[in-house]
Amino acid sequence: MGRSAPFALVAGVTLVTVGSVAYADTLIVLNKSEANISLIRPATGEVVATLPVGEGPHEAATSPDGRTVVVCNYGARTPGSTLSIIDLPGKKVEATIDLVEYHRPHGIQYLPDGNHVVVTVEAEKKLLIVDVPGRKVAAAIDTDQDISHMVALSMDCKRAFVANIRSGSATVIDLESRQRIRNIETGAGAEGVAVCPVRPEVWVSNRAADTVTILDTETLDKIGEVPCAAFPIRVTFTPDGKTALVSCARSGEVVIFDAAERKEVRRVKMEAEAGTDAEERLFGRTFGNSPVPVGILVEPTGRLAYVANTNADVVIVVDIAKGEIVRRVKAGKEPDGMAWSAIDL
């Protein structure tokens, strides 16, 4: 899941207030099996538009002004090598960027200039810097690690942290010099990665080790590790940095942590089951009847988390403070990555 634009009143915004939560207007959900994305009004669950993208869309990022969404087309049996550029106010696909020699784009984040995104490409073990208006790759930086999957940015956006699944590591990249600083061993199956918005910490979820490793974003020292069963696949924070949330694919839960204390507070069981056609899906029956929660996005007020349950075709909305499910949102088949925008559709 890419970092969404900051929650602010920008041109064209209409806020909908439900209870004490002010909703921006668009939740973007990527449907892996249908090669499309759903644009959804989060307050009502209404699908405003469904747009075609490339095969196997996995992650997306929203520009700082909220008007553009960039989608990584990962591919299926054939490796993908494109990015889809979405004009959100126009509800249309504006362009497709051909990454040419780079394949399996996955993790993505927008840079503050609003013109560039950083994108992992698993097949070539690199982090790309892509010029979005120019529709081209501006730089390619080696991670030298296997399955470079998700990416997060430091608070000042000068460093990128890439989680490498097969290598069980995090790669630290200096975005100004466009050089790799270090590869740091974290744990088996390092997949999810998120930077705390208020402390110099990056959390890496190690899916095969059932742990979350905590690194200092400045010194790059390993400063903590917490257990987190089973199969922690994504991690994210609330905007105030007080809470970390981890989706666990095998147990079918979202784990809520007190981020400052690094302690598990509660678990929220996803009340859904895998579809009857699970064998045809990416994860198959690897996790039994688990709905396989993967993508997790915290809306800008920090009260609600949206959890994409990829084997159950549903996005479950969780009240973080109460640890309760408050609604379900239907998008398409195998929802996974998500993004958010304050643009009014």
End-to-end CA distance of the chain: 21
User: Is 7 part of any domain?
Assistant: no
pLDDT over 60 (residue 339): yes
pLDDT tens string 55-92:
999 999 999 999 999 999 999 999 999 999 999 999 99
User: Is 48 part of any domain?
Assistant: yes
pLDDT tens string 168-215:
999 999 999 999 999 999 999 999 999 999 999 999 999 999 999 999
CATH number, domain with residue 319: 2.130.10.10
Strands 26-31 and 243-248: unpaired
The total number of structural domains in the chain stands at: 1
DSSP-assigned beta bridge partners for residue 105: 121
User: Is 3 part of any domain?
Assistant: no
DSSP code, position 34? G
pLDDT over 50 (residue 143): yes
User: Is 79 part of any domain?
Assistant: yes
Confidence of residue 158 (pLDDT cuts 50, 70, 90): very high
* Residue 19 or 133, more confident: 133
Instruction: Sheet with 105-110: list strands edge to edge.
Output: 105-110, 116-121, 126-131, 136-142
User: Is 255 part of any domain?
Assistant: yes
- Residue among 157, 166, 185 nearest 125 (CA): 166
- Residue among 248, 247, 266 nearest 257 (CA): 266
Structural domain that includes position 237: 16-341
User: Is 9 part of any domain?
Assistant: no
User: Is 138 part of any domain?
Assistant: yes
User: Is 124 part of any domain?
Assistant: yes
- pTM of whole model > 0.85? yes
